[in-house]
Chain A
Amino acid sequence: MNGVSVGSLYALLAIGYTLVYGILGLINFAHSDVFMLGTYFAFFMIAVFLLPWWLSVLIGVILCAFVGMSIERVAYRPLRNAPRISALITAVGVSFFIENLGLVTVGARPKGFPRPELMKNVYILLGARIQGVTFWVPIISIVILLALFYIVYRTKVGMAMRAVSRDMETTRLMGVDVDRVILYTFALGSALAGIGGILWACKYPQINPLMGIFPGWKAFTAAVVGGIGNVVGAMLGGFIIGLAEILIVAFFPGLTGYRDAFVFAILIIFLLVRPGGLMGEVAREKV
Chain B
Amino acid sequence: MKDTVLQVEDLHVFYGGIHALKGVSLSVPQGTIVALIGANGAGKSTTLRTISGLVRAKRGRISFEGKDITEELPHRIVEMGIAMVPEGRRIFPNLTVMENLLLGAYTRRDSQGLKRDLDWVFTLFPRLKERTWQKGGTLSGGEQQMLAVARALMSRPRLLMMDEPSLGLAPLLVREIFDIIRELCENGVTILLIEQNAKAALEIAHYAYVLETGRIVLEGEGKKLLEDERVRKAYLGEE
Bind each other:
yes
Check if B95 sits within 8 Å of A173, measured CB to CB.
no
Indicate if A170 sits at the interface (CB-CB under 8 A).
yes
Q: State A1–B151 Cα separation when bound (angstroms).
A: 47
Check if B95 sits within 8 Å of A163, measured CB to CB.
yes
Indicate if A73 sits at the interface (CB-CB under 8 A).
no
Which positions 145-166 of chain A face chain B at CB distance < 8 Å?
156, 159-160, 162-163, 165-166
Which positions 168-208 of chain B face chain A at CB distance < 8 Å?
168
Indicate if A260 sits at the interface (CB-CB under 8 A).
no
Q: How near does chain B come to A152, taking the closest CB pair, in angstroms?
A: 11
Q: State A156–B108 Cα separation when bound (angstroms).
A: 12
Surface stretch bound by A, among B3-11, B22-30, B72-80: B72-80
Check if B106 sits within 8 Å of A176, measured CB to CB.
yes
Q: How many A-B residue pairs have CB under 8 A?
A: 67
Q: How near does chain A come to B78, taking the closest CB pair, in angstroms?
A: 3
Check if A159 sits within 8 Å of B102, measured CB to CB.
yes
Asked if A175 meets B102 with Cβ closer than 8 Å, knowing A167-B90, A170-B86, the reply is no
Among the listed B106, B141, B144, which residue makes an inter-chain contact with A174, where contact means beta carbons less than 8 Å apart? B106
Q: State A279–B200 Cα separation when bound (angstroms).
A: 44
Q: State A176–B141 Cα separation when bound (angstroms).
A: 25
Q: Which residues of A contact B102 (CB under 8 A)?
A: 156, 159
Among the listed A170, A172, A287, which residue makes an inter-chain contact with B92, where contact means beta carbons less than 8 Å apart? A170
Q: Which residues of B contact A175 (CB under 8 A)?
A: 74-75, 78-79, 106-107, 155
Closest Cβ neighbor of B99 among chain A residues: A159
Indicate if B93 sits at the interface (CB-CB under 8 A).
yes
Check if B103 sits within 8 Å of A178, measured CB to CB.
no
Check if A167 sits within 8 Å of B84, measured CB to CB.
no
Q: State A173–B93 Cα separation when bound (angstroms).
A: 16
Asked if A163 meets B155 with Cβ closer than 8 Å, knowing A173-B54, A173-B78, the reply is no
Contacts beyond the supplied A166-B94, A167-B92: 20 A-B pairs with Cβ under 8 Å: A156-B102, A159-B95, A159-B103, A160-B103, A162-B95, A163-B95, A170-B90, A171-B103, A172-B75, A173-B52, A173-B83, A173-B84, A173-B86, A173-B90, A174-B104, A174-B151, A175-B78, A176-B106, A177-B75, A286-B93
| Chain B contacts to A: CB under 8 angstroms | 52-54, 73-75, 78-79, 83-84, 86, 90, 92-95, 99, 102-104, 106-107, 137, 141, 144, 151, 155, 168
